[in-house]
Amino acid sequence: MNITAITLGCKVNQYETEAMLSMAENSGFTVCEGDCADIILINSCTVTATSDHKVRQTLHRVRRKNPTSIIILTGCMPQAFPEKAAALDDADIILGNSNRNSLIPHIHDFLTHRERIIDIEPHGTSFESMQVTEFHEHTRAFVKIEDGCNRFCSYCIIPYARGRVRSKPLSELKEELSELAENGYREIVLTGINLPAYGQDIGATLCDAIETACKIDKIHRVRLGSLEPEQLTPPVIVRMAAQKKLCPQFHLSLQSGCDKTLRRMNRHYTTDEYREIVKNLRAAFGNAAITTDIMVGFSGETEEEFEQNLAFEQEIAFSKVHVFPYSRRPGTSAYEMPEQVSNAEKERRSAAMIAAAHKTQQAFLKAQVGLLEEVLFERSCAKNVYEGYTPNYTLVRAVSSDDLSGKLLMTEILTAESGFCTGKIRV
């Protein structure tokens, strides 16, 4: 029987999907692409109400297209909202985030009895062991090293969907990274739900994980997923900067550039502290790219607060920003806050922030013109045109009659276009 997967949400979800597909392949199933197969796995996200809507839409679409297939729903949505998930009749097997190792036994059980299975267990206290040695359709490898979050930001459902902080042991990490390196992956991305919290439960630190990755000979680049900024203290930054394989691109989750809004969000830093962290990173890493997430229309956000948010984005001059409107999530403290912002106003503020973010992105791209950078080319995007990323995650496109996929090549940055740069290969 063949199996395919649809991943909704973050890089952690992508890693977990690959891990589950590896389980299936090792158990004799054939992994295929697309949304048609004997078994279809949907790995869900629940970070916003829109995410939940997308889960329901995907389930309905897949069921209409595959009326006889076994459809599996797993991930954050059923873990956070088990009753809502159980009501989704299009799914034959429903799992949460804590017991993915039961996936294959449940598939066999369903094949035998043809009875619907709902198995959502509470979060455990230890890291669920998963390993991926090969990724479908990817040049770089994502490695999940941490799960869960202890922060409980007032708007966020993720601690309920993911549980408390749990970390992959360093010995397991080294083993997984070594296999990925042997399989030809040159860039590793360390990911987690709250990545800087790595090791709090096992007596280790994120720097330990970074150093472990950088010591693997055949790995050329180590990149980090999303980071909570206040955990990047000066000693941590100094230790990170000593690792030459660590890419100078840091996704520092901001959420708001207004201190009053940050306090209502229960974020653990001020704009002054965030500004200092960015300053320290740029001083320690040459030509560093700072990317972020910014929320607009949070509960009680006034026009003045939004203007502060907008001004801070422009001041920091992010190389890329993910802008999204606040989405109320039942079960969070912000859900009941007064002075909710209208959807129309959220849309207006989103458009304004996106426009500002585009300007700072283009300024960053223009600053890359003339530089000679190593580009890891990933794929063809047009005939004889290949695209890939520099160490600071600048997207570069170059013309070549040769297949550049998977190659690390020195490339001169020639022009800055909308969202990317063009380059010329230098031998």
Answer yes or no: do 36 and 155 share one domain. no
Last residue of a domain, one of 119, 150, 167: 119
Last residue of a domain, one of 320, 349, 367: 367
Q: Quote the CA–CA distance of 234 and 236 in Å, as a whole number.
A: 5
What mean pLDDT do residues 196-215 have?
Answer: 97
Say if 389 falls within a structural domain: yes
Say if 135 falls within a structural domain: no
Say if 303 falls within a structural domain: yes
- Quick one: DSSP state of residue 287? T
pLDDT at 38 over 80: yes
Answer yes or no: do 392 and 328 share one domain. no
Reference 43, options 86, 93, 84, 2; nearest CA is 93
243: helix, coil or strand? coil
Say if 128 falls within a structural domain: no
Question: In this structure, what CATH number is given to the domain that contains residue 173?
Answer: 3.80.30.20
Domain holding 240, by residue range, is 141-367
% of the chain residues with pLDDT over 90: 93
pLDDT at 168 over 90: yes
Q: Quote the CA–CA distance of 44 and 22 in Å, as a whole number.
A: 18
Answer yes or no: do 257 and 374 share one domain. no
What mean pLDDT do residues 268-276 have?
Answer: 97
Answer yes or no: do 162 and 300 share one domain. yes
Q: What torsion, rounded to 10 degrees, do the Cα atoms 321, 325, 328, 331 define?
A: 0
pLDDT at 128 over 90: no
pLDDT at 132 over 90: no
Answer yes or no: do 110 and 190 share one domain. no
Q: Quick one: pLDDT at residue 98? A: 85
Read off the amino acid at residue 368: Q
pLDDT at 136 over 80: no
Mean pLDDT for the chain?
A: 95
For the sheet with 2-7, list strands across it: 30-31, 2-7, 39-44, 70-75, 93-95, 117-119
Say if 395 falls within a structural domain: yes
Answer yes or no: do 110 and 162 share one domain. no
pTM for the model stands at 0.92
Q: Quick one: pLDDT at residue 101? A: 87
Q: Quick one: pLDDT at residue 372? A: 98
Q: Quote the CA–CA distance of 97 and 16 in Å, as a whole number.
A: 9
Answer yes or no: do 255 and 394 share one domain. no
Say if 133 falls within a structural domain: no
Specify the number of domains making up the chain.
3
Answer yes or no: do 200 and 109 share one domain. no
Answer yes or no: do 194 and 91 share one domain. no
Q: Quick one: pLDDT at residue 362? A: 98
% of the chain residues with pLDDT over 70: 100
Answer yes or no: do 77 and 65 share one domain. yes
Q: Quick one: pLDDT at residue 137? A: 61
pLDDT at 135 over 90: no
What mean pLDDT do residues 112-119 have?
Answer: 96
What mean pLDDT do residues 139-153 have?
Answer: 93
Confidence of residue 100 (pLDDT cuts 50, 70, 90): confident
Question: In this structure, what CATH number is given to the domain that contains residue 78?
Answer: 3.40.50.2300
Answer yes or no: do 408 and 315 share one domain. no
Say if 126 falls within a structural domain: no
Answer yes or no: do 363 and 376 share one domain. no
Q: Are 142 and 15 in contact (CB under 8 A)?
A: yes
pLDDT at 130 over 90: no
pLDDT in tens, 177-193: 999 999 999 999 999 99
What mean pLDDT do residues 118-142 have?
Answer: 85
Say if 31 falls within a structural domain: yes
Confidence of residue 123 (pLDDT cuts 50, 70, 90): confident
Question: In this structure, what CATH number is given to the domain that contains residue 419?
Answer: 2.40.50
